Amino acid sequence: MAGRTVPFAPFEWMIAWRYLRARRAEGGVSVMTWISLIGITLAVFALIATLAVRAGLRADFVDAMLGANAHVELRYLRQAEEGQAPSALIRDYLELTEKVQAVPGVVDAAPVVRAQVIGTSHGNTAPADIYGITAEDLARYPLFAEADGGQGDFLRFEEGMAVGARLAAKLGATVGDRVRLISPDGTRTPMGVTPRISAYEIVYIFSTGQPFMDEARIYLPLAEAQSFFNKEGGVDQIDMIFETPETLEPVLSNVLAVAGPRAYGWTWRDYFGGMLRALRLQDNALFIVLAIVVLIAVLNIVSGLIMLVKNKGQDIGILRTMGLSEGSILRIFFLCGALVGTVGTIFGVALGAIFSMNIEHIYGLVNTITGNGVADLEERGFIFPSAVLEPFDVLAATALSIGLSWFVTIFPARRAAKMSPVEALRYE
């Protein structure tokens, strides 16, 4: 009979299940089983929830980038112009805009003037990024057009400028105030460079919820920006929106072929790729740290199985004398540990998924308990990201937990299988 048992036969599952249910008085370790189960569940839950929140933060970051910025900025290489200093201005921007917008995969194209200035108002100063753009083109950016909490009248954009909420707060300005813009790149005179200075009325204050935009960005009408920065008849770049920003290389190649040899593209990944890589490195570091937590929880299975093997020494001896092979004994105790690890993993994944899909309700509950604590922090610029369940993250966490629990179970199971029946029954 020995050696002919079918692996993981029904009786092996039955014995393993009885051992897991047995109380300590009956030679079982049900308390340790529950501790192991709860520990693995919580560890996997923490791993899934953390990875989901990190994926949500990354998704929110990308949505913010793509919702208020061009996917690709089309620029010209600097080239000497007749009777003038070398310039990178795009003089044929109207014709070029029509050409690139006709390329399949390009949703929108808008000529833009870019510059940096110093804004002053009520004795306050702050640096600002100027975007010269038409009102029609600006309204096509989702994060700007659909932003909540805007002040003023965007329909009056051509009469003044739109300012980020946090930048307006720094300047102590509100809708209707005039802000002086100072450009250090001014007019050259025999006495040196004279800064350009002009004042514009704030007609609209926008709040996108993204601090890096709200505290540094000003939008001017395109014609006004061209006049102020002495760029009449030209723009610095053509901002383009693509249908598939995540895979923009094929469309960009077609755009550059149409735009000519002087053109090159600066993508959103060129701007924010470093931040995305930093987030990915942090995700990897978090996964390693939480994997250690899962390993610590899994080690409870080892201690529980060692106690179970010790308590079931007599049973092992009897089973061996009845003809069970070492393989059957090993599989019985392996099943004891593997079942705990697998069930704990399933529960942990389920809890993590429930947490991730209800993250907004959890934020609301915390906000209620703390007395608008979350809302106050959001107003101060703190971000409470959404949660996104990435299939790869779920699979990685599941494979890690099950793999570790099955692996560590082998050692106490082998110890039980190698136990001599004579030694097991000697003092019984």
Which of 142-146, 148-152, 236-240, 352-356 has the weakest average pLDDT?
Answer: 142-146
User: Shortest CA distance to 414 belongs to which of 306, 312, 311?
Assistant: 306
The angle formed by the CA atoms of residues 58, 60 and 66, to the nearest 5 degrees, is: 100
Tell me what pLDDT residue 319 has: 77
Tell me what pLDDT residue 190 has: 61
Residue-wise pLDDT tens digits, 79-96:
766 656 678 899 989 999
Higher-confidence residue: 27 or 339?
Answer: 339
Whether the per-residue pLDDT at 276 is higher than 60: the answer is: yes
Could you tell me the sign of the dihedral formed by the alpha carbons of 325, 327, 328, 334, in that order? positive
Which of 142-146, 177-181, 344-348 has the weakest average pLDDT?
Answer: 142-146
From first CA to last CA, the distance across the chain in angstroms is 25
Tell me what pLDDT residue 2 has: 46
Residue-wise pLDDT tens digits, 282-320:
888 889 999 999 999 988 888 888 887 777 777 777 777
Whether the per-residue pLDDT at 199 is higher than 70: the answer is: yes
Higher-confidence residue: 37 or 273?
Answer: 37
Which of 19-33, 39-53, 122-136, 240-254 has the weakest average pLDDT?
Answer: 19-33
Alpha carbon distance 218, 220 (integer Å): 7
User: Span 240-256, mean pLDDT?
Assistant: 89
Model confidence at 27, in pLDDT bands (50, 70, 90)? very low
Residue-wise pLDDT tens digits, 204-233:
998 877 777 888 899 999 999 999 998 888
Whether the per-residue pLDDT at 187 is higher than 80: the answer is: no
* Boundaries of every domain in the chain: 10-63+275-425, 78-261
Query: What share of the chain in percent tops pLDDT 70?
Result: 87
DSSP assignment of 235-264: BSEEEEEES-GGG-HHHHHHHHHHH-TTEE
Mean pLDDT of the chain: 84
- pTM for the full predicted model: 0.73
Decide if 218 contacts 164 (C-beta within 8 A): yes
Model confidence at 145, in pLDDT bands (50, 70, 90)? low
In three-state form (DSSP H/G/I as H, E/B as E, the rest C), the secondary structure along 91-130 is CCHHHHHHHHHCCCCEEEEEEEEEEEEEEEECCEEEEEEE
